[in-house]
Structure 1
Amino acid sequence: MYQIKKLILISGLATLLTGCLLPQQQVQFQSDIQSLDQRLRSIEQRPIQQTTPLLDNNQLTTIRHQQANLKAEMDSLRVDVQTLAGRFEDQQHSIQQLRDELTLAQNDLSLQVSTLENRAASNSPPPPATNSTPPVIQAPVIKTPTVVQTAASVIKQPIVTTQSTTSTADELYQRALQLVQQSGDFGQSRNLFKQFIHQYPTHDLTVNAMYWIGETYYGDKQYESAILQFQDVIQKYPEHQKIPAALMKQGLAFYALGDTNNGQVILQKVISNYPKSPEAQKAQIRLSTWQ
């Protein structure tokens, strides 16, 4: 009877261990424990049914036989509990290994991004003057007296208004977008997007322009520059709707450089953090082809 109570206590402790398992593992583990509990109850009830004092040799032989069977079943239950405990330890070890691998992959990704940033900062030439200053429209030179030219310039200056500035921003953005989407002129499109960001840093489309600069680098197969550009978008605007797309393209850029591990980590992040986004479905398809 003591052994039965001890075994029940062990099964109870095993039940507490299920709280540390994953949901699908908990279902299997709890099912095994319930099965063990039912067997223990049936075994515990058997001696109660045989408490009638019988001294007949046949009945004593039957009782001894039942006791032997009871001991065998208890030994079997003890083995089952030990097996479950071993399975639990193996699962915990596997989970810890996965966590360690993910941590190493994330650290490696951060190190590579920092390396790319340092390399870009040390090797990239200063941006051309045409990218840092807006283009100046030269007025036609008219050979007239100086006084007449000055008067003409004074008359033309008040034409620029706020409405015309907004229209120019939208037109500039659309022109750059058409170059990258329709013409495939990534270099010229990138220059126009940079000009847009310089002239309209607070515009609603500024984040989109930063993202498309990364796309132009990716289109030109400048994958390291693309990774850095997408990282700039992710760090500065972590809540923007373009973040899933930026992560997706960053992962593809790592894959294009031959770094499949970091590419997989980033695409898994897209799936886990943005499961309802279109990029999550694309990431799942990509990962299935990388395996």
Structure 2
Amino acid sequence: MKRKYHQRTGQICLLLLAATLCWGCATPQETANLQQSINILFDRVQKLENQVQGMQGTEQKADLYARMEELQVKIGSLTGQLEEQQRQISRLGTAAPAAAPPSSSAAPGPSYAAAPSAATEPAATPKIVIKEEKNPEKAMYDNALQLYQQGKFLEARKEAKNFVDKYPKSDLADNALFLIGEAYYSEKSYKEAIESYQQLLDRYPKGNKVPSALLKQAGSFQKLGDATAARILYERIAESYPGTPQAQLAAKELKQLP
């Protein structure tokens, strides 16, 4: 199990490196390749999250959970860079001057003005196409998640809120509230993140996102310099959810608090 875990971690790191190396390219194709790398990376994180439940060692679970949290932050950073690159490509495409028609004295040859190519036309901004889903509920949640992956945190929050309003009894409703908190957390809006995680705790106290929401809420208080509130929440996680990755991480954070 440990060997497989290191292999998976190594594969994820390679994907991150590949995505980072692609940066600096300014062609639509390479931008699309970067987006594909991010999607693959996110899929790997999702699969690892599912496999955590089947692991036996609590310490290994906690370590893997922490690594997944770090990867999610990196995904948000990469997707934010991708969005900026897409805007640059779009600006370059629309600002490109039209080629002057060849003069009568010019030597015969192919004319780029007469036969526009992909290099002279405005570059198309690559986008992730949301596949049509038979289940509109899941499609709506996936859209909110996708916006978050792209670093569009405001749009992600709006879509996730609309999802909760429309499907309050959905199995994904607590995930949508957690996504709202994560979007605020990614923007370092820790007070708003705390409020969003609290909504999840109040509305879905038996949901599977409760331990994670408590952990991120404690982390938000810690970021704000409120060590007392953070300590209370870390202790609550350790006592209420013993043996879970969240409890293991809470115990580690408690040791670092003043």
Query: What is the TM-score of this pair, normalised by structure 1?
Result: 0.41
Q: Looking at both structures, which has the greater relative contact order when contacts are Cα pairs under 8 Å and sequence separation is at least 6?
A: 2
**Structure number having the greater helix percentage:** 1
Query: What is the TM-score of this pair, normalised by structure 2?
Result: 0.46
Q: Which has the larger radius of gyration?
A: 1
